[in-house]
Structure 1
């Protein structure tokens, strides 16, 4: 093959240089960025890797911005150098696209592979070096990469010297220098001894052996390897050893062919290569390097292991051993390991008749055969750590790569690579390897849906792709239609003996009975992921006991961690196809009543935690307990809720709604309305109005069905409070009036007072001020008798608003003062903020703009501290009103605009409309004013339309 005559135009094997003629890349920082991108040329490099390469563990706050600046500068430099390479922005970072011949790193890697059988390629590879790789660049990441490259270069130097020695060239000067530079490299000592002995220097060769032994013993604490010792023995015996190794051990090449459609997994391949072939850990220089690939069945562990082993084979010139252990489940560990050891020993040249029967003797002989050699051992389909231990080499030059469904955490010094399903784009590329890009391009939406239906699982995608490839008359949508039916999905994911169901079943049947039971029950709830306390509720056992079953599912990769990094606690989820299998097994093995009881216990746990999340500082406390069961979750779950109740609501919002739906569907009416009413009080603070409405309506239906008057009244009160907040008094009256009647009939004074307080607002909004005052006045003693200081404060605040309408400012101020005292006495800071907002109304009416400003500033402080997004929006609106009163139009526009933004996030269209109206009043031109007015009218129309759709 003819080598390129022109030098690479991006050179990093020495000082960083760019273009022709050579020029420096740029600043040291730009050079580091370009070098890191070049190490993974034509692949995406995460921005975090660039940040780490530049600053390590202490990056500045502007790190990403500085990386962007470097990339922009490099793009200019590459254009100025002729545009032979480009840098594009690709999630999650950047990608350097450059031809192999234009980058010395890539050209060196390709030549190094060919150099195993081509001396000219070896010379060409070494000629690319102009000094240490990345010379002059201060980066720990580049230093590690440079060490690996230098090791590869030294392999080639050693190969070149051996070839010259075979030809009879004088290599003594070069070898002497190399041994001085690399005194711990045994092969160099070996070659030096041969060169000295061939030239007649028998004594010098033996002296070289003694020097080699002294260095190895002093520096590493080990004796020379077998080749050095055997060469010394041959020289002492007066023999003339050949240049090649004294002992001609067979070189096993047992790796199966890599998958032709292997796609993606770049990060995993890099991690495996770094661990197996990177610099040795100075703390454990004699340890065998082990990497364990783990993941769910069908996720592509075997394909990755074989691909990685092929890519790394040049680093293990003494061979690669491979054992497929997937079908060995029927054998005991001793029989299994003895059989594999026998296979490996035969591959290493041992005759069958000489194999020891004792498994321990086989293991000892196996380690002896591998001593001093560089062999990669691939164990595919390991079940447990104990099975691997007899197969670990004893020599640090060897390495082991395993695959298993469980994480092999018990192997000493093992590094783990956990595989998950593919990213969307990689999954599409894998599908394209079977059906071709044209079929994907013709049906892009069906292709994406097909990837989702296959759960981005490589085995499922391969089965689907193979089936489509064999039936080219099918459209992608034809198979998608078959996969849409969840009951048939696993049946369809089967082709010519390859079945996804059997792959999952293999993991399932290896579980203990408690773990299998938990696996089935976890498929029952509607919500796709479950909190860490759920297993105990589903199994009806203590949390600690359930954790043992959960650990089995995690180790078998049948469930995964479904929580984002910012989550308060762990969450567990199925991949979709595993959930389908779990649902199948639940239907086949369990009774309906058993799963219903598990689901009811889970709902009881949600109710217990939701009650823990309601805090005095949140205000309203209409607590009505029915007959629904409560399950006390573990202390760890309760602690999370108490520490951050509103963040817990944010994370569990959809699960709470799903639990209410399930209770409604199962006609657990008491659980349905109690959980709904409790959760709704929390949803109010975060502005989850649609969820609040849904669960309140489900609660009304459930309580009415059960004939539970108190529950029905509580559910209607909850829905009415939402409608009042949304400024829909007519709709609110339609549910609050039956709620009032229900509470009166049940003799629940607290409920009567709380509903009258809401009806006071409804009557005022409808213009019936006398009725409003009557409702609020009647509510006061009832709320006081119930000890509901927060509710009493709200009733007084409503009276203050009515006093304002009557221009009775003194009475209004007195009501507000008493309301503030009650709120503070109750420790209800959210209620205090709401009363302070009313206090600002009173101060503005009195012309006390400064006092009003102090009040709304405090409202914003309290709301922000609580995480009350609704309150923040109103506080900003209040600050805008104060600014208008102070004549500060600029500040007013800013605050009203901010209120629009916050109300948009919470979905409070009523507040958005009010803020737009204010902005229209402040607009400096008619067009802007008209636009704000149109927006306000459109928002109010949306509220009305939304209301009609839910009546």
Structure 2
């Protein structure tokens, strides 16, 4: 089915080709993806682009429901290697709790482009544009270079390839039917035989060839094609041709006139024109914005909604926050469509929805009726009568009605024509979900490149290119909001002696930023105030309170915390802000509740309002931080069990409703992962607000998770934010907790001397305030450090003291780490049974804590004793068991250690292939973590594998 690519078929942006052998194109040519697992995994991710593919589905794809024990690890290795290969292509593989998601522009995948062209062809055919539909289908087929997914040889991929191939054949048959309708039978006589050879049992292809031959005056050959096809079908399947093909044969024999090409439809009879009017009154669009840029995707989608065929007017609603460019986009689309699709005129009205005095539908209809030629005295007073007259006058005209700044569905509904010839384009800050048949389009801030291009157009390329970095900082400062960009650009144009860094400096003070965004009549604050004035008292107060919180995104429970209300009213108030586009809904959380985000400039306006509210202050921020403290502590408890290995303070907790918390923390790993950035922002805000107790507790809770997941940069950032605030407050227990957390971070970074000093300070602080559990934790870690520097006697003494401290505090679940160290020291002396006894007690304590990672660590130590004592099979099994315990959601440090252990166990058992697999995974993890000692250890063992293998032979 391959053919020469047609002119105009733009495929320059394709990076991933699935319609043939897998190809990945980069800036410098093809990117090599090795045959086998990597190609299969990449193909699976591309087929579900921008959707999560579970790791189980990938395993089933690779091993047809019979995966080896190491399947999960092998998939992880494939993903890691693919990430490196795809990095330069702006294609990112994200890890999700259940699998992986490949993020890329769909238009870079040939299969997506094929399907888009097929869909567009269907729309064109339905609209009667037969030639366009045929051309689109031919373009779609030109994207193919061979069988789909060629070379990806697994059961699952063969099934999917067959389905995609069927899509191609269906599209091809549709195109042949259209070409026959267009009278192209002579061309098809030479094209279809090759297609029928590839698909020898497709009845529709046979029918198309017969009809093409008949219309070319080759009736005998048409009958011969039928007889040859029938013979193949009988021989292959024992079946006769279907009724459609048999009917066609009889029609050919009878030379039925119905087989002749139909005459193309004659041009439609002239429409009965409505009474003549002054045409100038019907062309009411305001002038277009000369420097309009971007919005191509939205523009195309809106245009499609407006010109769709059907029994009702196409209605498109452009939505967005103040200053986002809704009116400019609407006028731009209207001009684009006016000449071709709405030649009879364009009615326009600013409905003043946010101006405090919106126009009534009756007022607007009066204006439109006068524009349509109705004398003033003939316009009815009644709204319904005006609407009936309006619909009647537009019934036979092709007019575009643009309704700018609508306030409600009730304002818009009477203004929608009733026939199928007109389009209605509405802009609004309200959601307007109740307009029947309307399609809604939300405008986002401009893309960075478009924002910079807008700046360049207004102020001149020379000034922008003189400092492109400043240009990008500038557009970022105003959140890529078109109104703000036009104000900035206008100020720069009016002051040619200003450079871009000048305006960047003036905008750098966030609290004065809105003051700077003023030029003539253009004011961002004024635009925002119009929406704010539409809020009732409760909504306006919540708007200001939300402006006081500092977080990239705002979960729905935040409103309840700020208002100290666990009912449904706060969430309803938040939705009023969404409805007016003062707040954007950007997703859902783990409980299915909405998550919100302010535009940067709207946030600054909200903060102004919050700071002007005399009832807003520290207590609202305390409840906000307390909500995060409660949820972080609860997530840790669900992940790590009762022993959190950190001291606990008296910071305020604010609990969202229990049923919501239960849903939210169903997967606590995922919640912590998703909320990392928010938690860090809350820690910073709590520190600045002087909430020292909440601050250090948040850090302690967060660092438990960050340490175990290897997020050491986040760990350090949290400590840096909190330590100064806690020390300034003189909070002795908090200072001790921060010293302990700092020591933990230094241990992970190999800064042993600093860690020892930090633990000594923490021990002194905990002892001063009688914090027994914290003191025992310090001694436990001091024992570890003493062991590392070779002072086993001090290590043993500190272990015994820590054990006594935990016991006196009633924390039996916390003793496992000290028992592990005692077990290791016994094993070091060759006292394996004594070591196992300590480790068995440690395992019981870890299981009591409910912490799977603690259990994994103990099993790791037991496996080490097994390995040292020659019990290689036991060691391998325990290493595997330990790895399984940390598989979800993953622990890169633990996985690296256990992979190293498994590699050595498999070597000892002579299983060198498995050993290499685990060691390579361990090496990859150590490299990712930047641990050179781990890298050296693994490389040393990997280098010895060939020697071991030869010895085994």
Report if the CA contact (8 A) 1:621-1:790 is conserved.
Answer: no
Q: Paired residue for 1:27? A: 2
Aligned to 1:113: none
Residue pair 1:535, 1:543 contacting (<8 A) in 2 also: no
Q: Secondary structure at the match of 1:579?
A: helix
- Give the C-alpha shift of residue 596 in structure 1: 1.9
1:49: how far off? 14
Cα-to-partner distance string for 1:409-434 (whole Å, 9 max, x where unaligned):
11111110110111111212222221
Give, in whole Å, the separation in 2 of the partners of 1:919 and 1:578.
54
The correspondence of residues 255-274 of structure 1 with structure 2, limited to 5 A, is 255-274=285-304
Say if 2:354 is the partner of 1:324: no
Measured after TM superposition, the shift of residue 578 of structure 1 is 1.7
Q: CA RMSD in A?
A: 4.2
- Please say if residues 889 and 922 of structure 1, whose CA atoms lie closer than 8 Å, have aligned partners that are also in contact: no
CA distance in 2, matches of 1:264, 1:409: 26
Aligned match for 1:521, one of 538, 545, 563: 545
User: Matched residues in 1 for 2:517 and 2:261: separation?
Assistant: 58
Matches within 5 A, 1:687-702: 687-696=710-719
Shift of 1:798: 0.7
> Take 2:531 and 2:938, find their aligned partners in 1: how far apart are those partners?
63
- Tell me what 1:916 maps to: 936
Shift of 1:627: 2.7
- CA shift in 2, pair 1:46/1:536, >3 Å: farther
Query: In the alignment, is residue 573 of structure 1 matched against residue 594 of structure 2?
Result: no
CA distance in 2, matches of 1:130, 1:690: 55
Give the equivalent residue in structure 2 for 1:795: 818
Q: Give deviations 1:920-951, integer Å, cap 9, x for gaps.
A: 465489xxxxxxxxxxxxxxxxxxxxxxxxxx
Offset at 1:658? 2.4
The answer to whether the aligner puts 1:615 opposite 2:596 as a matched pair is: no
Are residues 1:449 and 2:473 paired?
A: yes
Match of 1:92 among 105, 112, 121: 105
Q: Deviations over 1:423-478 (max 9, x none)?
A: 11121222222133333323221221222123111122222223323333333223
Partner of 2:617: 595
Report deviation, 1:886: 5.0
Q: Within 2, Cα distance between the matches of 1:663 and 1:486? A: 19
Aligned pairs for 1:154-165 within 5 A: none
Q: Structure 1 residues 525, 617: closer, same or farther in 2, change over 3 A? A: closer
Name the counterpart of 2:43. Answer: 62
Matches of residues 554-703 of structure 1 in structure 2 within 5 Å? 554-563=578-587, 570-587=594-611, 589-591=612-614, 594-615=616-637, 618=640, 620-622=643-645, 624-635=647-658, 637-696=660-719
Deviates more, 1:395-404 or 1:357-366: 357-366
Question: Secondary structure at 2:665's aligned position in 1?
Answer: helix
Contact kept? 1:790, 1:822, Cα under 8 Å: yes
TM-score, normalised by the number of residues in structure 1: 0.71
Q: Does the CA-based 8 Å contact 2:313-2:421 persist in structure 1?
A: yes
2:212 match? none
Say if 2:398 and 2:421, in contact at 8 Å, map to a contact too.
yes
* Shift in CA distance, 463/661, structure 1 to aligned 2, threshold 3 Å: closer
CA contact (8 A) 1:616 1:826 kept: no
- The Cα shift of 1:702 comes to 5.3
Contact 2:446–2:482 (Cα < 8 Å) also in 1: yes
- Describe how 1:356-755 pairs up with structure 2 within 5 A: 356-563=380-587, 570-587=594-611, 589-591=612-614, 594-615=616-637, 618=640, 620-622=643-645, 624-635=647-658, 637-696=660-719, 708-755=731-778
**Offset of residue 632 of structure 1:** 0.6
In 1, Cα distance between equivalents of 2:631 and 2:136: 58
Shift of 1:832: 1.0
Structure 1 segment 63-142 matched on structure 2, within 5 A: 92=105, 134=137
Within 5 Å, give how 1:869-880 maps onto structure 2: 869-880=892-903
Which residue in 1 is equivalent to 2:216? none
**Is the Cα–Cα contact under 8 Å of residues 663 and 669 in structure 1 kept in the other structure?**
yes
2:329 match: 304
Residue 73 of structure 1 is matched in structure 2 by none
1:216 is matched with none
1:50/1:67 contact within 8 Å kept: no
In the alignment, the residues of structure 2 paired with residue 92 and residue 828 of structure 1 have an alpha-carbon distance, to the nearest angstrom, of: 41
1:766 paired to 2:796: no
Picking from 208, 226, 245, the partner of 2:273 is 245
**How far apart, CA to CA, are the structure 1 residues paired with 2:133 and 2:842?**
82
Give CA deviations for 1:214-253 in whole Å, capped at 9, x if unaligned. xxxxxxxxxxxxx7xxxxxxxxxxxxxxxx7374355422
CA shift at 1:289, angstroms?
2.1
Q: How many angstroms does 1:404 deviate by?
A: 0.6
Cα distance between partner residues in 2 of 1:404 and 1:812: 72
Q: Which runs of 5+ in 1 are unaligned?
A: 1-25, 52-58, 69-87, 97-104, 106-124, 154-176, 192-226, 228-243, 281-285, 926-951
> Pick from 917, 921, 930: which aligns with 1:898?
921
Note closer, same or farther for the CA distance 1:837–1:569 as it changes in structure 2 (3 Å cut). farther
Q: Quick one: distance in 2 between partners of 1:438 and 1:567? A: 51
Residue 837 of structure 1 and its aligned partner are, at CA, apart by: 0.9
CA distance in 2, matches of 1:328, 1:653: 38
Q: Residues 174-228 of structure 1, C-alpha deviation per residue, up to 9 Å, x if partnerless?
A: xxx999987xx9x93x55xxxxxxxxxxxxxxxxxxxxxxxxxxxxxxxxxxx7x
Residues 18, 43 of structure 2: 8 Å contact kept? no
Contact 1:611 1:678 in 2 (8 A): yes
Residues 879-902 of structure 1, C-alpha deviations (whole Å, 9 max, x = no match): 234355456777656544433432
In structure 2, relative to structure 1, the CA distance for the partners of 1:134 and 1:856 (3 Å cut) is closer
Aligned runs of 1:217-236 on 2, under 5 Å?
none
Displacement of 1:695: 3.6
**3-state SS of 1:373 partner:** coil
Matches within 5 A, 1:922-933: 923=943
> Cα distance, 1:538 vs. partner?
1.8
Superposed CA offset, 1:110-137 (max 9, x none): xxxxxxxxxxxxxxx9998897864796
Cα 1:645/1:130, change in 2 over 3 Å: closer
SS of match in other structure, 1:380: strand
Distance 1:66 1:598, change over 3 A: closer
Q: Quick check: 1:381–1:402 contact (8 Å CA) kept in 2? A: yes
CA shift digits 1:678-713 (9 cap, x unpaired):
222222221222333454466565555555554444
C-alpha separation in 1, matches of 2:499 and 2:729: 51
Question: Is 2:866 the partner of 1:843?
Answer: yes
Does 2:876 correspond to 1:853?
A: yes
Please state if 1:824 is matched with 2:824. no
Cα distance in 2 between the residues matched to 1:778 and 1:688: 31
Distance 1:484 1:295, change over 3 A: same
| Residues 777 and 568 (structure 1), Cα distance of their counterparts in 2 relative to 1, 3 Å cut | farther
Could you tell me how far 1:401 is from its partner in structure 2?
Answer: 0.6
